[in-house]
Structure 1
Amino acid sequence: MTTTYDQDPTKVAEHLRDDEVHVWRLAYQHQEGREPFQALLGCYLGLSPAEVQLELGEFGKPRLSSVHVGDLHFNWSHSIDQALFAVARGIEPGVDLEKLRPRPRAMAIADRYFSPDEAQVLAAVPESERDAVFLQLWTAKEAVLKATGRGLAFGLHRLSIEWGHRHLALRLLEGEDVAEWQLHRLPLDDGHVASLAWRGEPRVIEMRALAPLAQ
């Protein structure tokens, strides 16, 4: 996966294939709310941002209103001053982004909310790597839970992530066959950690950015 910089997402959106997931990275300010994401959705729907109508699913996950015909699905995540937006046809993507910063309570959170296997992995890594590994596990768990539509209310302890320096996989998800799931760490930069998940066959991940971003 490599990141391509684009100023006109409409041209990219026109070529979304059924075997792809498009992931957009963009600068973001909290006060912008949903507007940047509705603008990107509009590119894929051929509509202006104002015409894009959203509603909340049973567990609060935003989705397209039933007035929009088709099988387009999306998810977004933001952290501090950046955001990720994932969009695909025929699957429900889940994406999560975190800015890398000190997490003094990482081990305590893992002991309380993670699976025993995940907590053991985190305890075993050098302290200098612990924040990054914690966030990789966290974003992976969030991405999967967002892809189910349930979010954190489902319970972080009800799924388990297998982590390695070059490996990330879903080991357990209560009530699900993990063989049906795809889970990927997204290559960003040394200051951010992100994961993408969906239930379904493997797909090509197209990483895009609206403009070069400050690291």
Structure 2
Amino acid sequence: MIAAPVSTLANVAEHLHDDEIHVWRLDYRRSGGRAPLRALLAAYLGTTAERVLLREGEHGRPALAAGLDPSLDFNWSHSGDHALVAVARHVAPGIDLECLRPRQHAAELARRFFSAEEAAALAVLPEAERSVAFLELWTAKEAVLKALGRGLAYGLHRLSIASVEGQLQLRRLQGDDADAWQLQRLALDHGLVAALAWRGGERRIRLGTLASGG
């Protein structure tokens, strides 16, 4: 776990290895837009935030503009006052974050948008556990789709995820080899649910918190 004020961010960023993914937690304010994201990426690029230009992918996934380090990729997600940013080299990470709140219609939403196996697994859970389990599946699916460079419109039913002994497993991904993917639940404070996904071999995840103002 990294606890990094802004003064040490550049040092941590300098040591991003090819077998790692750095995940930063930071405060989010809608009024700030992507400014905190660009400031964080600037540390990895060795430049200023003003020079970090972003472009939109075909399906809306943000990416670095041409001319910036092509080996570096990132993804981010925000919910409420919280945001997560995943940064990696030579792999496209996908990350998703949700604030936990009761989902009275979780089973109905699962029947509508999830695979039959996932919906059935949620249906047998006690109602008190269903909201957490639903969000764990939801964030995992979104993380995979974001790593693919696709959005929710691609279809949540095109992939199937299971939780086995506390570990997330991608069981099926239409048009791809599910075994080629990595999927990790991220341990955050109570009240937050998050997942990280990427296509490729195992990597060490370094989870840190960026002090306010970064």
User: What TM-score, normalized by structure 2, do the two folds share?
Assistant: 0.95
1:104 match: 104
SS state of the match for residue 129, structure 2?
Answer: helix
1:206 match: 206
Q: Which moved more, 1:163-172 or 1:152-161?
A: 163-172
Residues in 2 aligned to 1:11 and 1:167: alpha-carbon distance in whole angstroms? 32
* Counterpart mapping for 1:1-215 below 5 A: 3-7=1-5, 8-164=8-164, 166-211=166-211
Post-superposition offset of 1:65:
0.5
Q: Which moved more, 1:163-172 or 1:7-16?
A: 163-172
2:184 alignment partner AA? H
Post-superposition Cα deviations, 1:49-106, rounded to whole Å, max 9, x if no partner, equal: 1100110111111000112133100000000000000000000000000000111121
Residues in 1 aligned to 2:105 and 2:151: alpha-carbon distance in whole angstroms? 22
Q: Which moved more, 1:83-92 or 1:99-108?
A: 99-108
Residues in 1 aligned to 2:124 and 2:163: alpha-carbon distance in whole angstroms? 12
Residues in 2 aligned to 1:145 and 1:32: alpha-carbon distance in whole angstroms? 25
- Structure 2 gaps of 5+ residues are none
Residues in 1 aligned to 2:188 and 2:66: alpha-carbon distance in whole angstroms? 34
1:14 alignment partner AA? E
RMSD (Å) for aligned C-alpha atoms: 1.1
- Structure 1 gaps of 5+ residues are none
Post-superposition offset of 1:108:
1.0
Q: Which moved more, 1:143-152 or 1:102-111?
A: 102-111
SS state of the match for residue 196, structure 1?
Answer: strand
Tell me, yes or no, if the aligned pair for 2:162 and 2:171 is still in contact at 8 Å: yes
Residues in 2 aligned to 1:74 and 1:41: alpha-carbon distance in whole angstroms? 8
Residues in 2 aligned to 1:36 and 1:83: alpha-carbon distance in whole angstroms? 10
Post-superposition offset of 1:121:
1.0
Post-superposition offset of 1:165:
5.2
Post-superposition offset of 1:4:
2.1
1:85 alignment partner AA? V
Residues in 1 aligned to 2:25 and 2:54: alpha-carbon distance in whole angstroms? 21
Regions of 4+ moved over 4 Å: none
SS state of the match for residue 187, structure 2?
Answer: coil
SS state of the match for residue 58, structure 1?
Answer: coil
Tell me, yes or no, if the aligned pair for 2:45 and 2:69 is still in contact at 8 Å: no
2:131 alignment partner AA? D
1:140 alignment partner AA? A
SS state of the match for residue 87, structure 2?
Answer: strand
Tell me, yes or no, if the aligned pair for 2:113 and 2:157 is still in contact at 8 Å: yes
Post-superposition Cα deviations, 1:167-207, rounded to whole Å, max 9, x if no partner, equal: 21100100000111000000002110000000001000000
Residues in 2 aligned to 1:165 and 1:138: alpha-carbon distance in whole angstroms? 18
Residues in 1 aligned to 2:75 and 2:12: alpha-carbon distance in whole angstroms? 17
User: What TM-score, normalized by structure 1, do the two folds share?
Assistant: 0.95
